[in-house]
């Protein structure tokens, strides 16, 4: 397994001093229907009609930070103005403005952010039309559409089309500190994406969201990656039910056993390998454990692990089956609360 070289900081960051920048909102389509509703599109609808229908749910995102601002994208996925974007688009934001497809803007509040998964949830001050999210199994070669705000707000609602190139990709992200972390279970596609597309949707040809675009290969063309929508959909579902939602947390960063095997850390064929432990949490797990079951649910990879954690609440008690030093252990753990 080769580690991909990628751009993770995929929002376009501008320094306020000395920056020549024209945020031309006049290029938005004032005739787009912004009525809050679920946008559903039938099979075999022409691509041009699909794009015209969905663009009301896609937004530009400007996050003002202490020394500048970043431009990214987002997509409304639930009634109430709940928007998915990337963590790195809104990281350290002091204020967030979203740019809508009808030449208007709205403020947005950050409700949730996860740096490990590069997912964030915003709540718009305006209710918006929103899209269907689908966790259907994709096929390599299937057509997909990307919509976003590459480079600047002048290019908002830019549409590109490509195919699914591969599934369940893992990419290594090298930090300035010299260590490597991983993004896993990604959808690889070749729809053209550029800085500013971060947080925008990857869509099927009938306008359903299958992923959130997050990064691209830095030394290649046509190699982009999207986070599976199942991750963001789970978070939004929880937050829309409880605005004070707190994420259940076991104090670990887990990776697929494929990664652990590649680094000669484990020979287990499936499960979620505990790669590191949060020093601030008294976890029942140890580095090197391979989680293979939580309660009665089999855990085949890190995505299974994370999706199950979204089902839990802080202070829940769970039974966890792990492989530790080659032996199966049954653990009972209390779930902590993760603050972001």
Whole-angstrom distance, CA of residue 317 vs CA of residue 93 = 35
Indicate the helix (H) or strand (E) that contains 313.
Answer: none
Which residue of the set 113, 118, 189, 266 is catalytic? 118
Residue 89 to residues 142, 219, 237, 259, Cα–Cα distance (Å): 28, 22, 21, 27
Whole-angstrom distance, CA of residue 192 vs CA of residue 189 = 9
Which residue of the set 11, 53, 70, 88 is catalytic? 88
Burial of 298-331, coded b for 16+ CB within 10 Å and e otherwise, reads ebebbbbbbbbbbebeeeeebebbbbeeeeeeee
Which residue of the set 198, 234, 283, 302 is catalytic? 198
Contact 302, 231 (CB under 8 A): no
- Please calculate the CA angle 86-198-53 and round it to the nearest 5 degrees: 105
Whole-angstrom distance, CA of residue 334 vs CA of residue 332 = 7
Give, rounded to a whole angstrom, the gap between the first and last alpha carbons of the chain.
32
| Residue 55: both structure tokens together | 């663009």
- Cα-trace Rg, the chain: 20
The yes-or-no answer on residue 315 being catalytic is: no
DSSP letter string, 108-134: EEEEEEETTTTEEEEEESS---EE-B-
User: E strands of 278-335, at which residues?
Assistant: 290-294, 297-298, 317-324, 327-334
DSSP letter string, 31-44: TS---SSEE---TT
The yes-or-no answer on residue 189 being catalytic is: no
The yes-or-no answer on residue 79 being catalytic is: no
Active-site residues: which are they?
88, 118, 198
């Amino acid at each position: 397994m080769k580690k991909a070289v990628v751009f993770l900081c995929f929002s376009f960051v501008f320094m306020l001093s000395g920056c020549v920048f024209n945020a031309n909102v006049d290029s938005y389509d004032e005739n787009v229907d912004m009525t809050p509703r679920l946008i559903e599109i039938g099979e075999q609808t022409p691509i041009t009609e699909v794009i015209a229908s969905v663009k009301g749910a896609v937004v530009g995102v400007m996050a003002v930070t202490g020394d500048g601002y970043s431009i990214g994208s987002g997509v409304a996925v639930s009634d109430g103005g709940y928007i998915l974007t990337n963590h790195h688009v809104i990281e350290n934001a002091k204020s967030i403005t979203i740019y809508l497809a009808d030449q208007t803007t709205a403020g947005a509040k950050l409700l949730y952010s996860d740096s490990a998964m590069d997912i964030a949830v915003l709540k718009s001050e305006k209710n918006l039309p929103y899209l269907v999210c689908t966790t259907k199994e994709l096929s390599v070669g299937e057509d997909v559409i990307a919509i976003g705000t590459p480079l600047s707000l002048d290019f908002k609602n830019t549409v590109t089309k490509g195919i699914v190139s591969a599934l369940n990709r893992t990419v290594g992200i090298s930090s300035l500190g010299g260590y490597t972390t991983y993004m896993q279970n990604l959808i690889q596609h070749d729809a053209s994406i550029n800085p500013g597309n971060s947080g925008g949707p990857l869509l099927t040809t009938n306008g359903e969201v299958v992923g959130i675009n997050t990064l691209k290969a830095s030394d290649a063309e046509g190699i982009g990656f999207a986070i599976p929508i199942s991750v963001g959909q789970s978070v939004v579902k929880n937050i829309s039910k409880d605005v004070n939602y707190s994420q259940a947390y076991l104090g670990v960063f887990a990776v697929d056993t494929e990664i652990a095997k590649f680094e000669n850390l484990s020979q287990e064929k499936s499960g979620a390998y505990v790669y590191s432990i949060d020093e601030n949490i008294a976890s029942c797990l140890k580095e090197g454990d391979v989680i293979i079951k939580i309660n009665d649910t089999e855990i085949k990879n890190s995505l299974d692990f994370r999706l199950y954690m979204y089902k839990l609440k802080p202070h829940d008690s769970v039974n966890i089956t792990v492989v530790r030093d080659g032996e199966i252990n049954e653990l009972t753990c209390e779930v902590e609360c993760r603050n972001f």
